[in-house]
Structure 1
């Protein structure tokens, strides 16, 4: 007699695997490219004679490139798999900083920066989809630590970029970034998990149009409402401390520094917390902490209290977006790449929309009220927290066995 098929869930695999290293390197490389671009912006604007408004349009072009390419990448992931799209995107992205260094006119620069933003966005969707596939294979959470590696890459790129531009020159910096990015891609290449898409996903990818299910759109709202406060702290935190709380120039720089440092630390810890307590409980706890942090920052009587509030907000927001991305990659009946393309596009559009909208509101109400108001967005995320249960689909996949 045949032995019965066990329906018990399989245990999680080793904490570190080749596939986890591979996708982490992709996140590191993508963040490194973004970080290396940041200190280059003043030189880029000076070389092309861009005014502040024209530079703003250039940066908007970067964002538009990302928003255009993200849905296209989602469709390609459903056709050929996230590993292929990630690798192709990484290879094409590697020389783009060189391209941005040698463009000589506004129009060629606009094309180059649109391409740069588009490839960053396409790779973002693909590497998040690959992280979801690795979570399913490992039966444990890894998304938060992947995003932590992205933050680490940004820190490395930005901290080395300014020094190299000042001491070695723009061309040397661009060559260094290109070589370093190529090394990261080469190291990741043999380790990236190859995920052949399911035939149903290929069939779904051939259908035109956006997902009809409300699930990816609701999870996209969660990502959008978390990334808007992140963009607000990045763009307006220092100005708030300086203008409304009379902080020094040095102190005002601590707004985003405290937020981003707390976020990076908590993202490295986030996977263990999520594995222990589940995605829904983790997201709810993070949302409550984020709400408290934003309220503290908005009602702060002085700069140190506001900085502490921003740090708490970073702790809270840190793991909400990775959980939302994991949930988007595990939605029933929706290809991982398609679900992720919707959520990433909505989420990152928040960082693009937030600065201009917040500037308009702040002129009339003040930035303190803006940060208090942003806590209401996290309350909406808290109300939608049950949707985070889809993020745990990767861990419980083994429980679903055909009868």
Structure 2
């Protein structure tokens, strides 16, 4: 199945992925100026980013209920809320206000994330085809576009509130095209309260956590690494997260083809090793050009790990459990997007950004034993069937 046909089949949720990528790419490229405006240390800024993690935990409980109540307009409502939340960090005058802004952003982002992944998983079930990598590739394209546009806007002298305002308008326009009814019945309140299957949630969540923690370190700290450690300009700093987004798009679109030919656990192991080598290159880079190479290798490898975890979560459970299970897996995984920057900040403050990026390599390699355990779970499921 070609990438274009996969994107055509998943075109509505793919647009949601693209919009969410724009949002986080714009935010990542603004990190140096946001941090400077708050006048806080690396460790404290990383702690402030934990506001998003708190919001994400709220999204875990909201997502199944929102899916049930909003139905076809779920992704639309979530993206409109995210567009409004986009204005908050640029207007935050103090650390506490910034934490509150991150809390709201995390809630809205997590809600959209769960809903769009659930829609893709349903389309995979109905079509019998792999669509998750192509959909996540749309996120990476949006992320790269948001980061590049923000870097150019910063070079032109525009401030955070203006840049976030333009981004919010773009997201609001995309929201108009996101109407899509669930393809599988959404469980009733009693079913939603039932416990999720343990092993699909735990294992797929752990794989996704490793991937998104690794992504988050680059997204939140790459621009600062290029600008502060390697002496790059604002545009050069924005190229760090942009390079990650572009290569992740290439990796995910390629992964769309690979996923139909190889076992998921094989792809996860190879991708973890490749991305770990990229993290080591970033840590040792003597200049921005070498760092971009490392970001690119890291992006190519890490790009397919999370989509594999989310896709497996949807396939290993019954249809009526899909939204609930994906929301649980997403919460475990996407928590890495927010906890990782905090850990990165404290590691950077204690040992420097080079050591912090080197630690990412070790984190990525933990996906190898997780993939081997998932292999056993898949085989057990096939034997039971």
Q: Give the TM interval when normalised to the shorter protein.
A: 0.7 to 0.9
- Please name the residue that 2:211 is paired with: 226
Q: Distance in 2 between matches of 1:223 and 1:356?
A: 18
Matched, 1:282 2:270: no
Match of 1:6 in 2: none
For 1:27, the equivalent position in structure 2 comes to 17
Tell me: CA distance 1:34–1:117, structure 2 relative to 1, closer, same or farther (3 Å). same
Whether the aligned pair in 2 keeps the contact of 1:75 and 1:338 (CA below 8 Å) is no
Relative to 1, partners in 2 of residues 1:275 and 1:101: Cα closer, same or farther, differing over 3 Å?
A: same
User: Match of 2:248?
Assistant: 263
Deviations along 1:83-137, whole A, 9 cap, x unmatched?
A: 5432331233333335667788987776555323211111111111111111222
Q: Is the 8 A contact 1:81 1:194 kept in 2?
A: no
**Structure 1 residue 258, shift from structure 2 partner:** 4.0
Matched, 1:132 2:126: no
Q: How many residues align?
A: 375
Q: SS of the counterpart of 1:277?
A: coil
The corresponding residue for 2:185 is 197
Unaligned runs of 5+ in 1: 1-10
Within 5 Å, give how 1:200-219 maps onto structure 2.
Answer: 203-207=190-194, 211=196, 213-219=198-204
Q: What's the CA shift for 1:350?
A: 2.1
Match of 1:7 in 2: none
Q: Tell me whether 1:324 sits opposite 2:327 in the alignment.
A: no
- Mapped to 2, the partners of 1:256 and 1:222 lie a distance apart of 22
TM alignment of 1:301-316, pairs within 5 A = 307-316=292-301
Residue 205 of structure 1 and its aligned partner are, at CA, apart by 0.2
- CA change 1:171–1:68 in 2 (3 A) is closer
**Structure 1 residues 257 and 198, CA, compared in 2 at 3 Å: closer, same or farther?**
closer
In structure 2, C-alpha distance between the alignment counterparts of 1:213 and 1:205, rounded to whole Å: 15
- Return closer, same or farther for 1:182/1:137 CA change in 2, 3 Å cut-off: same
Q: Give how far 1:69 is off.
A: 1.4
Unpaired runs of 5+ residues, structure 2, are none
Q: Is the 8 A contact 1:328 1:390 kept in 2?
A: no
Tell me if the contact between 2:347 and 2:355 (Cα under 8 Å) persists in the aligned partners. no
Q: 2:286 and 2:35 mapped to 1: Cα distance?
A: 37
**Which one is further off, 230-239 or 383-392?**
383-392
Distance in 2 separating the partners of 1:330 and 1:380: 23
Alignment of 1:156-167 (within 5 A): 156-161=145-150
RMSD over aligned Cα, in angstroms?
Answer: 4.2
**Secondary structure in 1 aligned to 2:176?**
helix
Distance in structure 2 (CA, Å) of the matches to 1:285 and 1:138: 27
Closer/same/farther in 2, CA of residues 55 and 317 from structure 1, 3 Å limit: closer
Query: Is it true that 1:180 corresponds to 2:170 in the alignment?
Result: yes
**Is 1:290–1:315's contact at 8 Å kept on the other side of the alignment?**
yes
C-alpha distance in 1 between matches for 2:73 and 2:84: 18
Of 40, 44, 61, which residue of structure 2 is paired with 1:52?
A: 40
Please tell me whether Structure 1 or Structure 2 has the larger radius of gyration of its CA atoms: 1
- The TM-score with structure 1 as length reference comes to 0.74
Change over 3 Å in CA distance of 1:268–1:108 after alignment to 2: same
Q: Is 1:354 aligned with 2:340?
A: yes
Structure 1 residue 318 displacement after superposition: 0.8
